[in-house]
Amino acid sequence: MEASQPYIVSARKYRPASFSTVVGQGALTSTLKNAIGTGRLAQAYLFCGPRGVGKTSCARIFAKTINCLHPTADGEACGECEACRDIERGASFNIIELDAASNNSVDDIRNLTDQVNIPPQVGRYRVFIIDEVHMLSSQAFNAFLKTLEEPPSYVVFILATTEKHKVIPTILSRCQIYDFKRITIADISSHLAHVAASEGIEAEPAALDVIARKADGAMRDALSIFDQVAASSMGKITYRSAIESLNVLDYDFYFRLVEAFRNHDVPEALLIYKEIRDKGFDSLFFVNGLAGHIRDLMVAMTPRTSALLEVGDDTARQYQAQAASLPATWYWDALKLLNGCDLNYRIAGDKRLHVELCLINLCRLGMAAPLPQQQQASAVPQQSAQQQQASAQQQQAPAAPRQPQQAPGVPQQPQHMQQQDVPQQRRGVPHISAPHVGAPQSGGHSAPARVRINRPQTPQGQPQAPPQRQPGTEPDPPAPSDPSPVPQGPPAPVTEQDFMNAWNRFMADNPTSRLMVSAMQMSAVRKTGDAEFEVLASNAGIVHTFSQGIAGLADYMRRSLGNPALHITVRQKAVEAAPRVSKESPRQALARIVEENRELYDLLSDLNTELT
């Protein structure tokens, strides 16, 4: 019975043996081949780059090629001469490898430099390969400097490292530096397809793309993952078996979530998140994966940036189809929310609720505040009734009294502004009012909220009495009022609890508006009507802050509460007068008390006493 062949992992079995089989480093291998072909070899090379990209493999190929007795016309080793066969068997004395991770002392470097004086027996060069050279100690680097700078003509040093910045500058200056790059997902997938065909394994292209993304640019990692997935799938690698074996979150979850965001479907988004948690995925991993998915959608919007997608062709088309359904501004806002969720995740007390709030905010992006159903149903009939009432009043009402002539340049005030009384305030206490929002204007947008600031001039804080009009004179012009139309009918009542909930949501949704949020935290709120609330500010500075941001606050509160008739008034608290300090002396105060108290006066008289 023939003995079975020992199993060799793919990372070793398919390790490159020539420059042409190196994957993803075409420009670098061409440079090395040209240097060999022209005989312009340096005494030292430094190969640096991420793990698993071919640094040590290229060093061995380079050593075999420069020692080959019969190189090919394209600059490759023949693989048949004595020198090539010895190197392939690992029996050549011309290649000395040192792992600096475990041999980093001065004695190890001295043993290596002692071998420099021995010339090659077969071939032309002795090549010393030092892997992970950045792990050498400072004393070992210093002991290596002189030999590295002036080695014998038959010696070539090849240093390999993943952390070039840890190599001392005096070593870097003595080497030719070659930077290896990460291998692209397309190159890794193509090589894995070649390995699968060679091993007789069926593999779906989508599954190979998943493996390539998991490898993060390292071919050695990709081959190791390929072996793992092939073992678990019994020789048939599918997309489903790959994501289950590697515990990778499926693209489908992210595509479904974005659809829920686009449809403003909060329940669906929360259910998808629960499904992801039930599969055992970490919430922070999910947040980062969702951010990466939205980033890929953003770059898939235009052909110029679609090249930044590192996915297969089928997945790229799916990205492009979904990317076209959302505006560009949505992606920027979504990435801001996810970035904030990532930054605050570690300090959040309830991490699940923290992520769910982020998903709710993503569903709310681009959502317009709906009007209450009652107002939507009665908007058209109410408008027609108002028009009929206005036409009837024009036919039956007598001529309106003549209004006083206004100064040139002063705009004429609307009629509805002349039918509201201005509340009287105390002197020095400004009054800020956020007016009601009425029906939409002709452009289809609701009238912007305006801020009215009334500064009463009544002396000594007393309420100002309305001016008396003399008989026979014309009435005074009415005080300025809110120019925006007021909805007809009684406003829908708003509870104080609902108002405060919306108030707190505004502070949570606008953390960058520090002055406004601070002013809201330092102010008290009380309900003055069904849909009317008054904000009591403690000082004039807070009143000024509200005057600049009350329009945005009022608009937010109306949309959040679904009540366009909500009215917010801001005023400063009245300052309590300080207690009056008495200027009379203690004797005068005692005499006054005796005079005011008859019984005490009679007692002092009976005792024949005198105040002193």
Enumerate domains of the chain plus CATH numbers: 10-179 (3.40.50.300), 185-246 (1.10.8.60), 251-364 (1.20.272.10), 513-572 (no CATH), 584-612 (no CATH)
pLDDT over 50 (residue 425): no
Write the pLDDT tens digit of every residue in 519-563.
888 888 888 888 888 898 888 888 888 888 888 888 888 888 888
d(CA 199, CA 197): 5
Angle at 59 between CA 54 and CA 65, to 5 degrees: 120
Q: Which of 239, 185, 191 is nearest to 212 (CA)?
A: 185
* More reliable by pLDDT, 397 or 35: 35
* More reliable by pLDDT, 341 or 396: 341
What is the H or E stretch that residue 108 is in? Answer: helix 106-114
pLDDT over 60 (residue 385): no
What does 63-107 look like in DSSP terms, one character per residue? HHHHH-SS--TTS---S-SHHHHHHHHT--SSEEEEETTT--SHH
pLDDT band at 271 (very low <50, low <70, confident <90, very high): very high
d(CA 257, CA 365): 13
Name the DSSP class of 545. Answer: H
* More reliable by pLDDT, 369 or 269: 269
Give the amino acid at 285. Answer: F
* Rg, Å, the chain Cα set: 42
pLDDT band at 309 (very low <50, low <70, confident <90, very high): confident
pLDDT over 70 (residue 258): yes
pLDDT at 338: 92
d(CA 416, CA 4): 99
pLDDT over 50 (residue 420): no
Name the DSSP class of 121. Answer: S
pLDDT over 90 percentage in the chain: 16
pLDDT band at 414 (very low <50, low <70, confident <90, very high): very low
Angle at 561 between CA 557 and CA 567, to 5 degrees: 55
pLDDT at 581: 54
Q: Which of 342, 370, 357, 367 is nearest to 269 (CA)?
A: 357
Name the DSSP class of 43. Answer: S
pLDDT at 48: 93
Give the CA distances from residue 490 to residues 137, 375, 423, 487, 498, in Å, rounded to whole numbers and listed in that order. 84, 12, 20, 8, 19
pLDDT at 58: 92
Residue 45 and residue 158 in contact, taking contact as beta carbons nearer than 8 Å: yes
* More reliable by pLDDT, 458 or 64: 64
Write the pLDDT tens digit of every residue in 563-599.
888 889 888 877 655 555 556 777 777 777 777 776 7
pLDDT over 90 (residue 446): no
* More reliable by pLDDT, 224 or 75: 224
Residue 488 and residue 528 in contact, taking contact as beta carbons nearer than 8 Å: no
Tokens of 184: 């692209």
Considering 238-242, 353-357, 383-387, the range whose residues carry the highest mean pLDDT is 353-357
Tokens of 512: 């960058």
Considering 110-119, 170-179, 225-234, 583-592, the range whose residues carry the highest mean pLDDT is 170-179
What's the average model confidence in pLDDT over 88-106?
Answer: 86
Residues 189-226 as b or e (16 or more Cβ within 10 Å = b): bebbeebbeeeebebbbbbbbbbbbbbebbbbbbbbbb
pLDDT band at 611 (very low <50, low <70, confident <90, very high): low
d(CA 230, CA 330): 40
pLDDT over 70 percentage in the chain: 76
The pTM score is 0.55
What does 218-253 look like in DSSP terms, one character per residue? -HHHHHHHHHHHHHHTTTEE-HHHHHHHHTPPPHHH
Q: Which of 531, 536, 322, 352 is nearest to 431 (CA)?
A: 536
| Sign of the dihedral defined by the CA atoms of residues 280, 285, 290, 293, in that order | negative
* Stretch among 286-300, 324-338, 410-424, 571-585 having the lowest mean pLDDT: 410-424
pLDDT over 50 (residue 397): no
pLDDT at 266: 92
Write the pLDDT tens digit of every residue in 204-248.
888 888 898 888 888 999 999 998 888 888 778 888 888 888 888
Tokens of 101: 């991770």
Mean pLDDT of the chain: 77
pLDDT band at 503 (very low <50, low <70, confident <90, very high): confident
d(CA 131, CA 110): 16
* More reliable by pLDDT, 391 or 152: 152
pLDDT band at 466 (very low <50, low <70, confident <90, very high): very low
d(CA 240, CA 207): 8
Residue 199 DSSP SS3:
helix
Maximum distance among all Cα pairs of the chain, rounded to whole angstroms: 144
pLDDT over 50 (residue 431): no
pLDDT over 90 (residue 467): no
For 377-417, give the secondary structure using H, E and C. HHHHHHHHHHHHHHHHHHHHCCCCCCCCCCCCCCCCCCHHH
